[in-house]
Amino acid sequence: MKNMKKTWIALLLLVAMILSAGCGAQPAADGDEPAQAEPKIFVYARGSDSISLDSAFVSDGESSKVLNQIADTLVRYKDGSTEIMPWLAESWDISEDGTEYLFHLREGVKFHDGSDLTAEDVVWNFDRQLADNRTSDMPYASFTFADVVSVEAVDPLTVKIILTKPSTPFIANLAMSLSVQIYKPGDDVAENPIGTGSYKFDSWKKDESITLLKNEDFWGDEKPSFDKLIFKVTKENAVRATELMSGQVDMIDGISFNDVEQLESSGEVEVEKVAGMNINYMAFNTTRAPFDNKEARVAIAKAINTQEIVDFLYQGYATKAESFFPDFMPGYNGDPGLTEYDVEAAKAEVAALGLDQTPIKIICYSNPRPYNPAGGKLAETVQAYLNEVGVTAEVVVYPWTDYRDKVNQYEGDIYFMGWIGDNGDPDNFLTLLEGASIGGLNDTGWSSPEFDALMNKGRELPNGEERWETYRQAQEVLAQEVPWVPISHALDLGAWRTNVTGYELHPTGRVNLFGVDK
């Protein structure tokens, strides 16, 4: 009995050891893998989908938010400012006459597919946007590369760029989100981009979400925090706000001022507000009647009470625009001679010009924009002002991605747009109204040799009073010609969960999630 008892004890101990081993991290059976930790995911909800994943073909913030994570630029802005810092280029040299730039690339930078970044890759990304190669659907190319003659690879890590003339804003332009981000050369960048950024493209469900994955081999000293970034499309403001408060998403854009108080009082969300480097404006299609006539533009401008729009439509979240870019930027002209609101004069001029017999088509976007949180309500407000002076106006509202196409096709007589400054230079705002030959960004069809000459002069001058005075004069030309009615400058609003760390709003509106954690 004693020996049998010992045998049973030994068997029980053996069984216990086997069961104990089965509870560890070893596979329980052939083919089974140990349990994996849950992936760390960050979800960003935005009002509309990307237009493209190739920065050469977009000019909108929704697209840039994704692209900034995937692809890098040669230089970039420091956090919280428009001061230039090295990025893919660790240094650069500029010739004495300001027409030759040598960029020295970092060693060891790899694309997401593991291949090395070389000077030839940079040349490809530039070349396709130069004058002989660019297409009409590259909105930034004419602006960024107007003065570029050639780009060449001096050696595997050195790029030479030659300009026709000095351009003071050129280096700042290269840091813009949508100027020239560096992709691996290929024919499928728009749908399957391969960059060098901290996150790499994984999948795109159109009008739903874009998923990015951590770049484990990112070249920077720090590594990205999240296994996945998901850019989710939630078109309605209030729904996005609810998703944020409930924890379904970590960060949102396009915040309606109607939701700010609820977000702040939830205790779950941080809301940041800063003065916005932006402009919200009404534009005229000057390619045809009636607004190819300056007198017609002036008459309509007199009908628009921009101060009332700011007071009642934006409720303290915007300031009235007194010129064509914000007053904290160099070269600002606080009194360029904008057309003043005068409803009685507008009625008389509308009748004299026959505008009361001319139906006007107004087009606008439906979803809120950072410079216009009211979305399509802005167009409806302007419609009411026009009706008051005898003009019959129809309003047609489109989703943002469709709207951009309609503007490019000159569908409306009046349309609404805005701009978030890319680099803190007045050239970046005023170039939106440069002549049609410059291309890309001027959607009005308006052009003026006098204005274009001032813009060219401003680019060549070094920063200082003479340059700033040139841009003040350019604003006076715009005020006299009225291709736009400047409306407002919106506060920048950002909202994210209180557990999110390492994020701050950038003056350019750039969304950079590298360095963000939770």
Residue 271 lies in a domain: no
In a domain, 181, yes or no: no
Domain identity same for 297 and 165: no
Q: Which one of 143, 173, 203 terminates a domain?
A: 173
Residue 213 maps to a domain: no
- Answer whether residue 152 is part of any domain: yes
Residue 81 falls inside a structural domain: yes
Same structural domain, 169 and 288: no
473 with 341, same domain: the answer is yes
Q: What is the pLDDT of residue 184?
A: 97
Q: Evaluate whether residue 200 is within a structural domain.
A: no
Question: What are the helix and strand counts (H, E) for the chain?
Answer: 15, 18
- Supply the pLDDT for residue 31: 54
Same domain, 162 and 291: no
What six digits make up the tokens of 476? Answer: 């006076």
How much is the pTM?
Answer: 0.80
**Hey, is 258 helix, strand or coil?**
helix
Same domain assignment for residues 169 and 282: no
| Claim to verify: residue 147 and residue 284 sit in the same structural domain | no
CATH of the domain at 487: 3.10.105.10
Q: What are phi and psi of 16, to 5 degrees?
A: -60, -40
Report the candidate in 227, 217, 228 with the shortest Cα–Cα distance to residue 112: 217
Query: CATH number of the domain that 145 lies in?
Result: 3.90.76.10
Judge residue 288's burial from the number of C-beta atoms within 10 Å of its C-beta, 0-12 exposed, 13-18 middle, 19 or more buried.
exposed
Pairing of strands 414-420, 228-233: unpaired
Q: Which amino acid is at 462?
A: P
Which of 127, 154, 173 delimits the end of a domain? 173
| Buried/exposed code over 312-332 (b: 16+ C-beta within 10 A; e: otherwise) | ebbeebbbebbbbbbeebebb
Of the three residues 156, 173, 190, the one that is the final residue of a domain is 173
Partners of residue 393 on adjacent β-strands? 360
What's the domain count of the chain? 2
Full domain range(s) for residue 137? 72-173
166 and 287 both lie in a single domain: no
Alpha-carbon torsion (293, 299, 300, 306), positive or negative: positive
pLDDT tens per residue, the chain (518 residues)? 444 444 444 444 444 443 344 444 444 445 555 566 789 999 999 988 999 999 999 988 889 999 999 999 999 999 888 899 999 999 999 999 999 999 999 999 999 999 999 999 999 999 999 988 998 888 888 888 888 999 999 999 999 999 999 999 999 999 988 878 999 999 899 999 999 999 999 999 999 999 999 999 999 988 999 999 999 999 988 999 999 999 999 999 888 888 999 999 999 999 999 889 999 999 999 999 999 999 999 999 999 999 999 999 998 899 999 999 999 999 999 999 999 999 999 999 999 999 999 999 999 999 888 899 888 999 999 999 999 999 999 999 999 889 989 998 999 999 999 999 989 999 999 999 998 544 468 889 999 999 999 999 999 999 999 999 999 999 999 999 999 999 999 999 999 999 999 999 998 888 999 999 99
Could you give the count of Cα atoms lying within 13 Å of 43 in the half-sphere of its Cβ?
16
Q: Whose CA is closest to 228, among 201, 256, 192, 257?
A: 201
Whether residue 5 lies inside any domain: the answer is: no
